[in-house]
């Protein structure tokens, strides 16, 4: 009797272990499927990133080519001033002047500065009295 009970107990244990194994195998299959999905998604995202970087590189090359053409038509002292300001002012050497405001430093010009701006010749190089950037007069400067 004792041997039969022992055999029965071992069979119960074996059954429990087999159920645990099946459960673990199901979990492994689920995790493997999730991992495969994540790997596929990562591959898609990497492809999209590579394409975006490639597109931006192409746009940068075009922009640099256009910049070189534009710079070649500008007077050398203006280009020198622009490059100097650009290195001193967070990479922005010139800023738009719109509605009395320098869009480089976001400050509004005083009435006196605006009067000077209005009186300046169209080809005179203006500077922001606050940040010193070259001011590019837009159609709506606010005078």
Look at residues 84, 129, 64 and name the one whose alpha carbon lies nearest to residue 102: 129
Residue 141 touching Zn ion (CB under 5 A) = no
Task: Output the six-digit token pair for 129.
Answer: 């009295």
Instruction: Give 15's contacts (C-beta < 8 A, 6+ positions apart).
Output: none
Q: Would you say 100 and 109 are in contact if contact means Cβ atoms under 8 Å apart?
A: yes
Q: Beta 94-98 vs 126-127: how paired, if at all?
A: unpaired
Residue 102 touching Zn ion (CB under 5 A) = yes
Q: Judged by CB under 5 A, which stretch of 5-13, 16-24, 36-44, 101-109 contacts Zn ion?
A: 101-109
Q: Which of 79, 81, 96, 105 binds Zn ion (CB under 5 A)?
A: 105
Residue 85 touching Zn ion (CB under 5 A) = no
Task: Output the six-digit token pair for 137.
Answer: 């007069």
Residue 94 touching Zn ion (CB under 5 A) = no
Residue 110 C-beta: closest distance to Zn ion, Å: 12
Task: Output the six-digit token pair for 25.
Answer: 């195998």
Q: Judged by CB under 5 A, which stretch of 36-44, 48-56, 59-67, 100-108 contacts Zn ion?
A: 100-108
Helical spans, DSSP H, in the chain: 2-72, 76-88, 111-119
Q: Which of 93, 97, 104, 126 binds Zn ion (CB under 5 A)?
A: 104
Residue 56 C-beta: closest distance to Zn ion, Å: 29
Residue 131 touching Zn ion (CB under 5 A) = yes
> Judged by CB under 5 A, how many residues of this single chain contact Zn ion?
6
DSSP class of 108: B
Residue 128 touching Zn ion (CB under 5 A) = yes
Pairwise CA distance, residues 38 & 55, whole Å: 25
Interface with Zn ion (CB under 5 A): 102, 104-105, 128, 130-131
């Amino acid at each position: 009797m004792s041997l039969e009970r022992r055999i029965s107990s071992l069979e119960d244990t074996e059954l429990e272990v087999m159920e645990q194994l099946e459960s673990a195998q199901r979990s492994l299959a689920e995790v493997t499927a999730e991992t495969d999905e994540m790997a596929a998604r990562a591959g898609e995202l990497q492809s999209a990133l590579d394409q975006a970087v490639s597109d931006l590189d192409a746009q940068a090359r075009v922009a640099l080519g256009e910049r070189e053409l534009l710079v070649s038509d500008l007077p050398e002292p203006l280009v020198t001033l622009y490059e100097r300001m650009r290195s001193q002012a967070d990479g922005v050497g010139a800023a738009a002047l719109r509605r009395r405001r320098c869009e480089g430093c976001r400050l509004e010009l005083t009435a006196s500065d605006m009067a000077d701006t209005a009186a300046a010749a169209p080809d005179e190089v203006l500077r922001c009295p606050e940040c010193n950037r070259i001011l590019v007069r837009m159609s709506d400067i606010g005078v």
